[in-house]
C-alpha cells in the first residue's frame, strides 16, 4: 500500500488520468482519490468536471441497474444503461475501474445476470467490481450472483483489493433480513473486515462499497444497516474513508469525522425521498416523460493525494 502522505504523489500515468477529468460528461459520479481522500465532483452539463490534481486517479460508480425491470417507471432500462456506458467511454481520461453498488439484476434471474454481465462489458474499463443488492439475493441467496460476480474466487460476497494506493472493500448487507429490523452485515463479515483492515495502514485511503446505506437514512423503510456502527468503528482510525452505497436511488451524503458516506443515483428508476409526503412507500416513482433521465445517472470520483475527501461528480444520463 502506498503511503498517501508521501509528497511525491502519483506517477505520470495518474497525471494523465487526471487530465481527462475535465472532459467528463458521463452519467456517473466521478470519484477522485487524491491524497487519500475521495471527493465527488459534480459533473456539469458543459462537461467540465472539477479540476483534479495531477496526482490523482479516477473511478466511476454506477448503481441499481435492475436489469430485467420492464415496468412503467422505466420501460427502457437497457437503453439508459447504454447511454451511461457511452458517457463513461467518452471520458477523456479512462477511469481506473468501475464499481457497481448493487441491485445489478431485478429478480436474480440467470438471464438477468447474464445480460448485466454483457452490458457491463460495453464499458471500456479494465475492472468492474460489484457488490450485491437484495434484488441479487432472491430465492437462492447469492448463488446466482456469485456465479457471475465472484471477484476473488472465494464464493462469498465480501472482498477487498488495492488500486492505485487505495484500499477498496466490498461488503454485503443483503442477506440478514429479520422481521421488523433493518438489515445487517453480520458477525462473520465484521470479523473478516477487522482482519482485512489489520493489514492496512491508517494513512491509506479506504473506499467501502455496500448496497444498503451504512448509516440510517430512514428506518421506517429499512434504509439503513443495523450493525453499521461496528463497521464504521473499525474504519474510524483511518484518515480518509469513503463509503459508497446504492439502494435508495438518489444522492445523499453524510460526513462523520474522516468518514464520508454517499448514496448514488440508480440507472433504473427513481425512488421517493425518505418518507416523501404523499407517497408513503419506497416503490418506483413514475415521472413525466423527459424527467426520468434527469433522475438517473452515474458518479465519477477522483482520488487526490493529500486530500481527505474524494472529488465526486454526479451526472444524470440526460445532460447537454
List of residues contacting another protein (CB under 8 A): 71-73, 106-108, 134-135, 138-139, 177-183, 219-222, 280-284
Closer residue to another protein (CB): 181 or 253: 181
Closer residue to another protein (CB): 47 or 282: 282
Closer residue to another protein (CB): 79 or 280: 280
Sign of the dihedral through C-alpha 118, 123, 129, 133: negative
DSSP state at residue 285:
P
Give the position of cell 422505466: 74
Is 226 within 8 Å of 189 (Cβ atoms)?
Answer: no
Alpha helices in the chain (DSSP H): 12-19, 77-89, 110-120, 143-149, 187-197, 228-235, 292-295
Q: How far apart are the first and last CA of the chain?
A: 39
Closer residue to another protein (CB): 7 or 220: 220
Closer residue to another protein (CB): 139 or 277: 139
> Most distant CA pair in the chain: distance in Å?
54
DSSP annotation string for 83-152: HHHHHHHT-SS--S-EEE-S--BSS--HHHHHHHHHHHTTS--S-EEE---GGGSSSSTTHHHHHHH-TT
How big is the chain, counted in residues? 320
Is 51 within 8 Å of 220 (Cβ atoms)?
Answer: no
CB of 241 to another protein, least distance (A): 27
Closer residue to another protein (CB): 65 or 242: 65
CB of 128 to another protein, least distance (A): 25
CB of 287 to another protein, least distance (A): 14
CB of 174 to another protein, least distance (A): 9
Amino acid at each position: 500500500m502506498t503511503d498517501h502522505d508521501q509528497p511525491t504523489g502519483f506517477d505520470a500515468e495518474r497525471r494523465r488520468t487526471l487530465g481527462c477529468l475535465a472532459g467528463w460528461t458521463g452519467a456517473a459520479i466521478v470519484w477522485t482519490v487524491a491524497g487519500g481522500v475521495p471527493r465527488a465532483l459534480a459533473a456539469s452539463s458543459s462537461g467540465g468536471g472539477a479540476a483534479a490534481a495531477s496526482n490523482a486517479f479516477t473511478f466511476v460508480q454506477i448503481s441499481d441497474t435492475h436489469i430485467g425491470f420492464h415496468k412503467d417507471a422505466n420501460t427502457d432500462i437497457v437503453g439508459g444503461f447504454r447511454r451511461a456506458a457511452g458517457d463513461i467511454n467518452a471520458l477523456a481520461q479512462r477511469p481506473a475501474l468501475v464499481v457497481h453498488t448493487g441491485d445489478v439484476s431485478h429478480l436474480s434471474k440467470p438471464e438477468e445476470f447474464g445480460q448485466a454481465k454483457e452490458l457491463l462489458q460495453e464499458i471500456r474499463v479494465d475492472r468492474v467490481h460489484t457488490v450485491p443488492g437484495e434484488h441479487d439475493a432472491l430465492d437462492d441467496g447469492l448463488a446466482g450472483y456469485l456465479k457471475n460476480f465472484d471477484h476473488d474466487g472465494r464464493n462469498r460476497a465480501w472482498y477487498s483489493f488495492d488500486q492505485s494506493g487505495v484500499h477498496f472493500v466490498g461488503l454485503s448487507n443483503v442477506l440478514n433480513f429479520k422481521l421488523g429490523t433493518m438489515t445487517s452485515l453480520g458477525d462473520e463479515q465484521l470479523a473478516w473486515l477487522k482482519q482485512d483492515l489489520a493489514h492496512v495502514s491508517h494513512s491509506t485511503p479506504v473506499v467501502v462499497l455496500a448496497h444498503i446505506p451504512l448509516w440510517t437514512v430512514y428506518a421506517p423503510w429499512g434504509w439503513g444497516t443495523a450493525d453499521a456502527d461496528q463497521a464504521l468503528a473499525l474504519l474510524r482510525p483511518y484518515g480518509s474513508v469513503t463509503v459508497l452505497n446504492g439502494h435508495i436511488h438518489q444522492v445523499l451524503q453524510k460526513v462523520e469525522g474522516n468518514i464520508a458516506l454517499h448514496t448514488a443515483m440508480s440507472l433504473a428508476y427513481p425512488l421517493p425521498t425518505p418518507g416523501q409526503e404523499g407517497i408513503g412507500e419506497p416503490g418506483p416513482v413514475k415521472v413525466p416523460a423527459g424527467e426520468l433521465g434527469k433522475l438517473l445517472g452515474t458518479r465519477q470520483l477522483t482520488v487526490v493525494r493529500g486530500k481527505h475527501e474524494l472529488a465526486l461528480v454526479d451526472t444524470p444520463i440526460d445532460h447537454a
